[in-house]
Structure 1
Amino acid sequence: MPKPSARDRILDAYVKFLIDHGPAAVTLEAVAAEAGVSKGGLLYHFGSKDALLDGLLDRVDELTTRDLEEARNAPEGLIRFYLRTSATDASMDNPLHRATLATFRLMGHDPKVLTASKRYEARWREALAEHVDDPLTADLIAVVGDGLYLRGTLGEDSTALLSSLDEVLDRLGAGQRTHP
C-alpha cells in the first residue's frame, strides 16, 4: 500500500486530534505535529483551520459516496448492506467512522458541519427510499440502522440482531424493489 500523502496525513491527524481532544484543543501547530509536518507544510495544503474543516467535510463526502456505491453494488442488496454495515463499520479501523466521529465532535461548533452531516444522512435516506416501496418503512429502516450504528459505536454487540436480519425486514414489511 502506498504511503499516505502529506494532505491525507494531515487530515488523519486532524481527525485523531478531534476524536481524542475535541475541537477546543485543535490548533494548526498541534495538528501539524501530530501529522509529522511543519506548520508551513500544513498551511501549504490547508491555509487555515476553516480550510482544514472543509477538507474533513470533503473527505466524509467522498467516503460516503464510496460507501453508497458499494451498497448499490452489494450482492446482498442495499438495505441489508446498510443495516449490516451500520453495526459492523462502527470501528476505529474504518476511515468513514473515524471521520464521522470527528464531525460529531464539531457539530455544535460550526453550523456547516451540521448542514453537511444532514446532507450525508439525506443521501442514505434517498438511497433507502429507492429500494423500499413505502416511505415510512424506509424511514424505519434508517432508524434501525442509526440504532445499530450507535450500538456499534458504543462497542455493543448486534450479532443476534444481524443474524435475524430477514426476520427484522419481514417485521418491518420491507418490500425491497428489485430495480430502483
Structure 2
Amino acid sequence: MASSRERILDSFERILIDEGERAATVEAVATAADVSKGGLLYHFPSKEAMVEALGDRLQGLVGEDLARMTQDPEGAARYYVRTSVYEDSPLDRALVAMARLAQQGHARAQERFSALEDAWLGALEEELGNRAIARAVKLMGDGLYYDAAFFAGDSARKQTPQDMEELLLLVDAIAPHWK
C-alpha cells in the first residue's frame, strides 16, 4: 500500500485533473486521501508544498522519460512522437495535473512546467541539431498528446498504428537533413 504521503499526492493530482485547482483544497485532498487534515499538514504544511512535491514528482518522471528518449535505438525524435499518447501513466497524470495548475496562472507550476518542456526540446535539438526542426517534432508530439488527453472518448480522433507510422515517416523525412 502506498504511504500516506504518496496517497495525499496522488489525491491532489487526481483532484487537479478531474476538478481543477479550486477544488484541490487541503480539506478535499485530505478526504480523498483518507487522512485527517492534520495528517496531510504533517506531510505538506501548505497547498504550495503539495504543488512543489508534485513538481518534484513530475521532474523525476520526466528525467526517466528523457533517459529512455535519449537512449532509444530509433532516436529521440521518433521516441518523442511515438510516446506522445495519453495512457493514464504516472507521467501522464503528473503532467496533466501540473498543466492544470500552470493554466490557472500558478507561477511556480508555470516555471516547473516550462523547464520540463525545455528539457524535452533540448533533447530533440541535441539529436536533430536544429532548433526549428526540434520544435516541429515537439509540436507534432504535443499535438498528438493533446488529442489523446483531451479527446480520449472521441474514437474518430484515435490514432491508428498506420496513422502513427505515417507521422514517424514524416519525422524520418525531416530528421536526416539536420543531423
The answer to whether the 8 Å contact 2:54/2:94 transfers is: yes
Aligned to 1:103: 98
Change (3 A) 1:104 1:166: closer
**Is 1:79 aligned with 2:77?**
yes
Unaligned stretches of 5+ residues in structure 2:
none
Identical columns (%): 39
What's the offset of the Cα at 1:165?
4.0
Residue 133 of structure 2 is aligned to residue 132 of structure 1: no
- How far off is 1:18 after superposition? 1.1
Give 1:9's aligned residue. 7
TM-score by length of 1: 0.88
* Distance in 2, Cα, partners of 1:34 & 1:59: 19
Give the stretch that moved more between structures: 130-139 or 6-15: 130-139
> Which deviates the most, 106-115 or 159-168?
159-168
Partner of 1:163: 165
Q: State the partner residue of 2:52.
A: 54
Displacement of 1:166 = 4.2
Separation of aligned partners in 1, 2:168 and 2:30:
47
> What residue number does 1:28 align with?
26
What TM-score do the two structures reach when normalised by structure 2?
0.88
- RMSD, matched Cα: 1.6
In the alignment, the residues of structure 2 paired with residue 170 and residue 21 of structure 1 have an alpha-carbon distance, to the nearest angstrom, of 39
Aligned residues: 171
Letter in 1 for 2:16: L
Q: Please, which runs of 5 or more residues in structure 1 have no aligned partner? A: none
Shift, 1:58, TM fit: 0.9
1:71 shift after superposition: 1.3
The answer for the alignment partner of 2:17 in structure 1 is 19
**Contact 2:76/2:127 (8 A) holds in 1:** yes
Q: 1:151–1:158: 8 Å Cα contact kept in structure 2?
A: no
* Secondary structure of 1:23 counterpart: coil
